[in-house]
């Protein structure tokens, strides 16, 4: 991994040229927001700060000292505040432009491609079906040699004052064949009382206990009837790789994708984060390559039905019962519901008997 572009000094002219190129290609969607912000600041300067400053200068130079020190302080404070806001916004715009430039050069140096923002990415993972206004940002993808994609991600739930933004980051790894839907819920990043931080809850009948210390790090869920297949995929050496390299991440295998989820940015300017990601992906890739031999015995082809089953293996794919896990209800949701209903009942009773 070449992390030099993440920290090396950059040429401002190259950054401006790169930003202009993004604008010409339509890839920089923040240009209208930037223009609106600058227009508002310019209007505030023209309407308030500039006339007030001119009036102050005229009053002082004319010898008619008809204003009090409080007014002078207020005008100077207004001018200074607007100047600081302008400087902060300019630095923020410049910082974002430099971040885009660095990530693009980092991706190029490592045989990858930076794509900026992607609306509603077409991926089958659980986080990509939640809420609305879904967006992946700072998307870095390519083949190393297997296709991988690293990005920050967000979606929103609710609306108006009750709207909430949920932030995630993911690593997507393309597999050689579709596999059963399997989720590894990392124990280390769970919330209060061990509540899962995943946006979806799965029924407990799909929980599969594994040998060794694996259950101390992950709760593994697989479709009912696919326990033997999960054990075939997660051999002791594969489990060891996940424990040693991805214990801080939630893992989902769905269709022919493997996803690693985190609640912090992964596409970042921090070289240590990228080094950890590249090491983790390499460690996992070395073991998941053997998953290409897996076949779902529940599938059968017309040719196999008329021939000896030992000679013709099942076709590539997963039977319908193994494609998606059954969703359940979180006990946290149940507790909150009980509290709300209990409070409602107590309120009614108190209104009736203690009015």
What residue segments make up the domains of the chain, in order of their start? 4-109, 113-323
H helix intervals, the chain: 4-7, 12-25, 31-44, 50-61, 69-109, 214-217, 227-233, 236-246, 271-288, 302-305, 320-323, 331-353
Instruction: Give me the helix-helix angle, 69-109 and 12-25, nearest 10°.
Output: 80
Q: Are 223 and 322 in contact (CB under 8 A)?
A: yes
Please state, in angstroms and as integers, the Cα–Cα distance from residue 285 to each residue in 145, 182, 291, 335, following that order.
Answer: 10, 17, 10, 40
Residue 344's pLDDT band (boundaries 50, 70, 90)?
Answer: low
Alpha helices (H) along 162-234: 214-217, 227-233
- pLDDT for the residue numbered 26: 80
Q: What is the pLDDT of residues 228-260, one digit of tens each?
A: 999 999 999 999 999 999 999 999 999 999 999
What pLDDT, on a 0 to 100 scale, did the predictor assign at position 134? 96
Residues 177-233 pLDDT 10s: 999 999 999 998 887 767 899 999 999 999 999 877 899 999 999 999 999 999 999
Residue matched to tokens 């015995």: 297
Task: Report pLDDT for 98.
Answer: 95
pTM: 0.80
Distance CA 198, CA 316 (A): 29
Residue 307 has pLDDT above 80, yes or no: no
Q: What is the reported pLDDT for 195?
A: 86
């Amino acid at each position: 991994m070449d992390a030099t572009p993440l920290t090396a000094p950059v040429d401002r002219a190259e950054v401006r040229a790169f930003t202009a190129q993004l604008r010409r290609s339509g890839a920089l969607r923040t240009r209208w927001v930037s223009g609106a912000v600058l227009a508002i600041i310019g209007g505030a300067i023209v309407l308030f700060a500039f006339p007030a400053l001119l009036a102050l200068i005229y009053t002082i130079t004319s010898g008619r000292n008809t204003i009090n020190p409080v007014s002078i302080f207020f005008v100077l404070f207004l001018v200074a505040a607007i100047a600081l806001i302008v400087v902060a916004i300019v630095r923020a715009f410049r910082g974002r432009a430099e971040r885009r430039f660095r990530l693009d050069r980092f991706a190029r140096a490592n045989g990858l491609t930076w794509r900026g923002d992607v609306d509603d990415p077409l991926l089958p993972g659980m986080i990509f079906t939640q809420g609305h206004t879904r967006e992946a940002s700072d998307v870095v993808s390519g083949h190393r040699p297997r296709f991988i994609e690293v990005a920050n991600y967000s979606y929103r739930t609710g609306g108006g004052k009750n709207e909430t933004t949920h932030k995630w980051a993911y690593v997507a790894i393309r597999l050689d064949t579709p596999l059963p839907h399997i989720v590894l819920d990392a124990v280390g990043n769970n919330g209060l009382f061990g509540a899962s931080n995943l946006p979806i809850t799965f029924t407990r009948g799909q929980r599969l206990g594994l040998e060794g210390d694996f259950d101390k790090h992950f709760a593994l869920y697989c479709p009912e009837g696919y326990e033997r297949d999960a054990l075939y995929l997660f051999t002791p050496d594969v489990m060891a790789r996940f424990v040693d390299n991805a214990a801080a991440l939630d893992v989902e295998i769905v269709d022919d994708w493997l996803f690693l989820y985190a609640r912090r940015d992964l596409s970042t300017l921090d070289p240590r984060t990228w080094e950890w990601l590249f090491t983790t992906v390499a460690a996992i890739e070395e073991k998941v390559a053997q998953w290409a031999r897996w076949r779902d015995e529940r599938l059968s082809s017309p040719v196999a039905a008329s021939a000896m089953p030992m000679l013709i293996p099942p076709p590539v794919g997963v039977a319908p019962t193994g494609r998606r896990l059954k969703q359940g209800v979180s006990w946290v949701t149940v507790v909150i519901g009980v509290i709300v209903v209990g409070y409602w009942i107590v309120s009614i009773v108190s209104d009736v008997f203690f009015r």
